[in-house]
A and B are shown apart, each in its own frame.
Chain A
Amino acid sequence: MLKKIIVLMLALAMVLSLGLVGCQRDEEPVVVDEPEDKQEDKPAEPVADKYGGVVRVATWSSPPGVFHPHLYTDHYDALALSPMFDAMLKMTPDLEFIPSMAEKFEVSEDSKTLTFWLKEGLTWHDGEPVTTADVQYTFEMIADPGYTGPRYADIMAIEGVVEFNAGEADHISGIKIYDDLKISITTKEIYAPALADIGGRAIIPKHIWSGIPVAEHAEQTEMLRNPIGSGPFKMKEFVPDQFVHLEAFEDFHEGRPYLDGFILQVANQDTSQAQLIAGELDFMEISNIVQDEIDLLESEGIVVEKVVSRGFQYMGVNTRLEVFENPLVRHAFAHAINRQGIVDSLLEGNGVVANVPLAPISWAMPDASQINQFPYDPEKAIALLEEAGWEYKDGTMYRDGEPVTFTLLYPPGNKVREKSAPLIQQNLGDIGIAIELEIMEFGTLVERTFNTHDFELFLMGWGLGVDPDSTSIWHSDAAGLGGWNVVGFINDLNDELLEKGTQFLAIEDRKPIYHEWAINWNKYMPSIPLYSTIEARAYTPRLRGLQVHSFGNYYNLHEWYFAE
């Protein structure tokens, strides 16, 4: 009896001492560093001092481990890929493309041919030289008939890709190798996103992959898990469901990164702030800002940088259904939903109301005065619906004598979006439209919307690329089953402008086209844009030299360093 109690007490003591041991060890470095932390704007430190340290970045789900820039299908793999792979061009925080692996590049007179000169002495992580043959191989791998990844549509604009894919040619005719360093790539038509889709394409090593038929690439687990790239960090250790550990690539062409390592660490979104404060993490993205959370982080000395998101949230409307055919109905919805209220209360001001399907920072965004703002106005909404032939009686909206009810589908996951659903329900209820809410898991929602068009209203968001070209989302060609024009927007002017928009390379030439396109879209409003959020990046104050922006965090990852 007594023995048992003693054993028990010993066990308890052990548990407690584990806690205490760890406690002491964890606190040590923090105490040492604290006085340094306050000196935010110190003059440039001597370069030698910047080297060292490992940054731990939060990810909400484990990368499955398909570390191949053209075969991965999981967003979380991309987080680990971007430090490991490099492209000929890269995008600056001002959204301009500048040379990365390329020394320089040229655009031909007719704007169809891009010529790149690679830097001399570039090497892969395994020490082999990077040549134009690798560039050619990258595109031929994607164009290969046996290719199983999702990136084929990105490169179809290149001359000869379709023929190569059909097995009619040995090489892509539009890609011309001059020597080991000079290569040119020609598109069939002028292709506006060429700089991003061609210049910004991650290059993969030919010497690693060319020995294996493309159709079997996805099965080469060992090679996918131990990728060879040319980016600033290379693979050190991948422990699925826990972390991806990358280490500095000594021969990176812009110089060895200051950091010794980069770790992508799986964390729980609900407890990660606590981990950041406790020093278990160094950097994380916050997609939905909660002011109290930001206050807490900042009071603990964490740096919080806000950036505008690169997308928007919307309520999709199935315009194929007769009841939603009339644009007045959609306008009425836009007036009825208190979108400013969502921004003010649910987002605590960290967002803007959206009226066109573009990222708020895009150059394609027309001036606010040119588009209808659809301010919150339930009376106007009722008036518009009555104009469309609906009837409003005693707080209920009737159409052909029947009370109007719709089902709004939405997925869990994004907390603000989840909360906006009952708000929209209440807003539409105020103009007499009964809304049935149906929350469903993402895969199911995709089946109901994109794959079968079996829906009335739904909530979702788009994260957009840098280029405003939205042909794949809004062109009538994409309105079929499985296409991204899920709301079924069919409009001739819309198609025409989208097609015209990609036929110029210079932003100045494209701007007026996209402005007109956005104004036209806003006029028909095939779905109701709700808001674009302001996001945040939070990181430990010891971490310096970051240049984060809406479209990426790792633009200058090799220049990040820890202040000591």
Chain B
Amino acid sequence: MLFEGTVFELNRIILIRILATLVLVTLFWIAASRARLVPNRGQNVAEMALDFVRVNIAEDIIGKDTARRFVPLLTTIFFAVLAANITGVVPGLNIASSSLIGFPLVMAVISFVAFIVVGVKAHGAVGYLRTTLFPSGVPWPVYIILTPIELISTFILRPATLTIRLLVNMVAGHLLLVLCFGATHYLFFEAAGALKAVGAVTLAAGFAFTLFEIFIAALQAYIFTLLSAVYISISQESH
């Protein structure tokens, strides 16, 4: 543990997070530096990944015309979350660096600030609050119920769910893997007789959950980015 007790404290998860960041940044830096008009294999992969965010998330949700402004933000969110998640299945790292609440929280705050800024830019501060808290097309008494619900859902539940969904998914995945491989280790080396055979089952389960975690890592990055895009899109439109 470096700088223990200070704000710069570096524990294992933080070190993995920094490592993941450096690897991600280096890979894309190299891809961008070597990028040519006619792509080679590596560039194709990078372009596919970037196009996935640009086309399948930004342009599909926000619309082709206005999506371009938000592509950098959404791309950053997607790849940051993906890199942080994927460390959970990298041998030797073995823990998602998004399984410590700071990271999901920071990403959620970025998303939160983004959709509020977009809303305020589109409608003005008052206009944004009015379209969000007092959606048109309902009789006024409904606002007594609707406004508190909208207030909580938009300004509290959105960032909270973004944070907790990602955090809990990653923690749960890590626990599952630890459970499977821990059990395998115990059954193989500590357990007696026939119980050793059960270790094969837990090992197979651990293998399956590793594959599942790769899928979850990508899925959670996708969901996080998709919801950010949806929130931005909602803020932009008038109700």
A binds B: no
Chain A interface (Cβ < 8 Å from any Cβ of B): none
Chain B interface (Cβ < 8 Å from any Cβ of A): none
